[in-house]
Structure 1
Amino acid sequence: MNTFTENPIPVIVAGALGRMGAEVVKAVLDSKDCDLVGAIESLPGKEGIDVGISLGLGDTGIALTSDFEGCLCEASQKVRDLGQGQGVVLVDFTHPSVAYEHTRAAIAYGVHPVIGTTGLNPDQINDLDKFSQKASIGGAIIPNFSVGMVLLQQAAAAACSFYENAELTELHHNQKADAPSGTCIKTAELMEDLGKKFNECNVTENESIPGCRGGLRESGLRMHSIRLPGLVAHQEVIFGAPGETFLLRHDTIQRSAYMPGVLLTIKKVRKVTGIVYGLERIL
């Protein structure tokens, strides 16, 4: 555990042995502002093993557990008398099928959720926001923790004032469960803020293979998902106009690129109201 500061932020990592979870564990252990107080992992045979030993980091004193709510409860009880703004933070990189339940449980236990797991729909996010505000426990749902991706999204939204035609493609490793990615959906939502329609149809399209033109949003934006080994996380937004195309692309080469955004969100989430959606709301 980190002992560099007098009052470090207590952090629980869910999905601690996953690709992203492991990076978060390392980042939290290396941060002078954070203290790892819990590591949750459902992989069989890992119960009770030190998370640091499992990741080749040495003894941390934090044993892996599959008891999600038990870990939240124990950690929150230890800080219950410290006052407002001193709560535990949960960083969750698990699976879309449990993202909603994990977020709601964290709020119920007075733990501030930082959710990197994608797959939550707008109705779920709205419900979680209401629950968060009622409980006075702020949280954050961040589809992508990369500052570079935030810049791409802002550029794409700005470009929509000048282009009528655009399509989005996201490319990820073949272990990603949801498609399209939450990041790509968030990008489309920002592009749609102007309320305009995209890609007016000039011909009657015929898909000889259903789905080859990608997913179609109500705005007319089309989204394409690619899953291949060797990829990490990549996204393109391409705009078209007579005589030109305009391409925006972001490539994540290593997952360590997300850690500055994760740590920044951990530091700020205890001061937010309700559920913040998107890293641009934290920066």
Structure 2
Amino acid sequence: MAPEMIAFQTSDNVTIRGWFFKPSEPISTSSPCLVMCHGFSALKEMDLDVFAEYFTSRLPISCLVFDHRGFGDSDTKEGQPRHEIIPAQQTNDTSDAITYAQSRPDVQADKVGLWGTSYSGGHALWVGAIDKRVKVVLSQVPCVDGYSNFQRLIRPDFVANLNQLFQNDRLDRADGKPPAMLPVIDADPHCPSALPTQDSYEFFSGWAKKSNWQNQVTLRSVEALREYYPSAHIHRISPAPLLMTVAVNDVLSPTDLSLDAFCRALEPKSLHILPGGHFDAYSGPNFERNAGRQADFLKHHLI
């Protein structure tokens, strides 16, 4: 069944657009809903529909999938740049997506779950801890500690120059100049990019050929990564159940950081460790193992 095209307003009047997937088997009453969002610069078309279709074809559940502000089909605030990733804005918008889901007559308002992956895997931890409307949290290959992630991703000899660029960008913006931009990926690892890993290059360059994804973010997006600590409140997700999915060879959202964060979460919690790297959670032989475990978790904790 084709998803419904939806739009909703954020608390600061930005239009967010996405898809609403209904259960494959029609039900006469409202159903639980899983709110889903993608990672750093990624669009809803980049496999989120595959997950949503998997869940709605196997469970009496609906899925709300949306593009972050400034990306894909969603608007950005007037006077603000597109392709800017400010975690506080994205987490607020995620809570607004929950509000939209609760407002629908076909959604069981007291059974809304949250699913996030990569950067939004961190958002799921943050929102799941502070927004107590969230009844279950599924966090897939999450960013859990932006400062440590930044230190792992950026070569030490690049940091001083990047700090200078951050300062220049702030001064330029204050002077009314447009924001500095940075590629998300670059084939040359010696060139500055937001996600300088080989698997990031392969994943995003593949999607660039078959989607509207654009290879740019504002420089401030990278500075904002360094200040973001999405697992700070992970122990406050409880008593909502948490499922964290971690890739054993993840170099983009380092495995050890995720495992350390998981240890700080309180029960009830479940850990699913997948073989491979960061992007192996989305497709290929890992998909059925990954999505199947998530569907089972939803069946037991949200349905």
TMscore range, shorter length: 0.3 to 0.5
| TM-score, normalization by structure 1 | 0.43
Q: Which has the higher helix share?
A: 2
- Superposition TM-score, scaled by structure 2 size: 0.41
